[in-house]
């Protein structure tokens, strides 16, 4: 299937509605191409005791964009949100005492540092009990002797990589897989009507998977983004970009399954089914990280009290209203996976289904 190249980052806007600079948008594309290439051989299965450690050697705008892309892309099924074990660790080398405020800008990590574990120089870590699978360490020095298999990212290396690649593929994104992810949300009652019990049981999704594989996957491709439709709709832009970031993790999830198969002697189909819960939890952690980077926040006390007083369609409309606020969007699902089962179990089904659909999308 021929590549479908689009330029979705141009549609993103700041909370005040103004456009990001051309330089910022270009750096997002450059960082994405560079980071995905650097991480392409990482394989971490659900049974692994390893974790990814990325060292970013300076705090230039391009390298801060790389930190953003690692946080968006490096999510693995062996993370345990109860203990915090196996987080992806991003070590940033910087002597800037104001680097945290720089990272909190909309073009970099947005609201992520409010929730993820991070440490600044010699200070005690913040958010040590975070349910997120990303940890940020900011240090002044890092010894090459402590490498131990870490992945090093530098301005020089990034520029050399970018110079060696076709600019068209750097400054645009192949959205084929993201289109397939977006189509999943049109399955409607095939997923919505499933009971909450045994959410991770693959057989429950058999009918929906059959329809998806032989129906939606075979439909002709259409663009993920439309200039007229999304020009003034920040919410729709972020929804479609979420499909892009989700699909960016498919290759690494497949490598994790390959590692699991090799270690456990399992067939691929069985491995995807056995790993559905671990993959779904990892996908939720990825999704929360993405939403925080994209500027979403949790409900405040007043909003939560009102939400608890509403029922049925009123509750649904209220949550949608908060989610679609372009200046300060709120999402009820920004929570731990354990809390999601209590707060909004319907959305857990989509995490499970997407993970089961990955091998079908990749084969297509």
Length of the chain counted residue by residue: 364
The tokens of 4 are what?
A: 């479908």
pLDDT digits (tens, 9 = 90+) for 145-201: 556 679 999 999 999 999 999 999 999 999 999 999 999 999 988 999 998 788 999
Q: What confidence score (pLDDT) does residue 148 get?
A: 65
HSE, CB side, 13 Å, CA atoms: give it for residue 12.
Answer: 23
Q: What is the mean pLDDT of residues 138-144?
A: 87
Residue 38: is its pLDDT beyond 90?
yes
Q: What confidence score (pLDDT) does residue 146 get?
A: 58
Orientation angle between helical segments 61-73 and 155-163, nearest 10 degrees = 80
Q: What is the mean pLDDT of residues 10-35?
A: 96
Domain residue spans in the chain? 20-165, 173-363
User: Which 8-state DSSP code applies to residue 326?
Assistant: S
Beta strands in the chain (DSSP E): 5-6, 53-56, 88-93, 117-120, 134-139, 151-153, 173-174
Assess contact for 149 and 21: CB atoms under 8 A. Answer: no
Residue 6: is its pLDDT beyond 70?
yes
- Span between the terminal Cα atoms of the chain, in Å: 8
Nearest to 71, CA basis, from 56, 55, 89, 59: 89
Residue 207 or 227, more confident: 207
Which distant-in-sequence residues (6+ apart) come within 8 Å of 346 by Cβ?
Answer: 192
Distance (Å, whole) CA 169 – CA 228: 24
Residue 232's pLDDT band (boundaries 50, 70, 90)? low
Alpha-carbon 236 to chain mean position? 17
Residue 346 or 27, more confident: 27
Residue 1's pLDDT band (boundaries 50, 70, 90)? confident
Residue whose structure tokens are 């693995």: 76
Q: What confidence score (pLDDT) does residue 197 get?
A: 82
The tokens of 318 are what?
A: 């209220």
Distance (Å, whole) CA 135 – CA 115: 10
Residues of the chain above pLDDT 70, percent: 98
- Other C-beta atoms closer than 10 Å to the C-beta of 44 total 25
Three-class SS of residue 290?
helix
- Calculate the alpha carbon distances from 113 to 28, 101, 138, 291 in Å: 19, 10, 12, 12
Residue 223: is its pLDDT beyond 70?
yes
Assess contact for 128 and 115: CB atoms under 8 A. Answer: no
Q: At 10, phi and psi to the nearest 5?
A: -65, -20
Assess contact for 293 and 109: CB atoms under 8 A. Answer: yes
Residue 233's pLDDT band (boundaries 50, 70, 90)? confident
Residue 319's pLDDT band (boundaries 50, 70, 90)? very high
Q: What is the mean pLDDT of residues 264-282?
A: 96
DSSP for 121-150, please give it.
TTSPPB-TT-SSSEEEEEES---GGG-TTP
Q: What confidence score (pLDDT) does residue 227 get?
A: 72
Residue 37: is its pLDDT beyond 90?
yes
Mean pLDDT of the chain: 95
Residue 144: is its pLDDT beyond 80?
no
Nearest to 72, CA basis, from 119, 28, 26, 11: 28
Q: What confidence score (pLDDT) does residue 92 get?
A: 98
């Amino acid at each position: 299937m021929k590549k479908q190249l689009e330029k979705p980052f141009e549609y993103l806007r700041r909370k005040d509605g103004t456009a990001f600079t051309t330089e910022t948008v270009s750096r997002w594309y450059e960082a994405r191409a560079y980071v995905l290439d650097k991480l392409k051989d990482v394989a971490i299965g659900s049974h692994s005791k390893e974790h990814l450690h990325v060292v970013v050697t300076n705090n230039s705008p391009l390298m801060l964009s790389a930190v953003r892309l690692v946080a968006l892309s490096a999510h693995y099924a062996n993370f345990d949100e109860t203990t915090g074990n196996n987080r992806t660790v991003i070590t940033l080398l910087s002597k800037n005492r104001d680097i945290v405020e720089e990272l909190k800008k909309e073009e970099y990590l947005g609201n992520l540092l409010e929730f993820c574990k991070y440490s600044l120089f010699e200070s005690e870590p913040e958010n040590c009990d975070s349910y997120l699978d990303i940890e940020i360490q900011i240090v002044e020095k890092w010894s090459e002797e402590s490498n131990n298999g870490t992945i090093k990212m530098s301005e020089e290396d990034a520029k050399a990589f970018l110079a060696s690649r076709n600019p068209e593929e750097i400054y645009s994104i192949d959205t084929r897989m993201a289109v397939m992810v977006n189509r999943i949300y049109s399955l409607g009652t095939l997923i919505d009507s499933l009971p909450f019990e045994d959410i991770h049981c693959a057989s429950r999704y058999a009918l929906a998977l059959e329809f998806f594989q032989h129906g939606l996957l075979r439909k002709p491709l259409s663009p993920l983004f439309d200039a007229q439709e999304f020009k003034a709709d920040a919410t729709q832009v972020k929804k479609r970009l979420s499909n892009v970031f989700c699909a960016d993790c498919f290759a690494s999830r497949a490598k994790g399954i390959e590692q699991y198969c090799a270690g456990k002697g399992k067939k691929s189909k069985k491995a995807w089914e056995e790993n559905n819960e671990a993959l779904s939890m990892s996908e939720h952690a990825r999704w929360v990280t993405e939403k925080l980077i994209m500027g979403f926040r949790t409900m405040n006390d007043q909003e939560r009290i009102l939400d608890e007083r509403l029922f049925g369609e009123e509750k649904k409309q209220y949550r949608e209203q908060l989610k679609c606020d372009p200046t300060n969007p709120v999402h009820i699902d920004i929570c731990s996976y354990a809390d999601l089962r209590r707060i909004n179990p319907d959305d857990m089904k989509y995490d499970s289904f997407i993970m089961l659909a990955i091998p079908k999308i990749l084969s297509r």
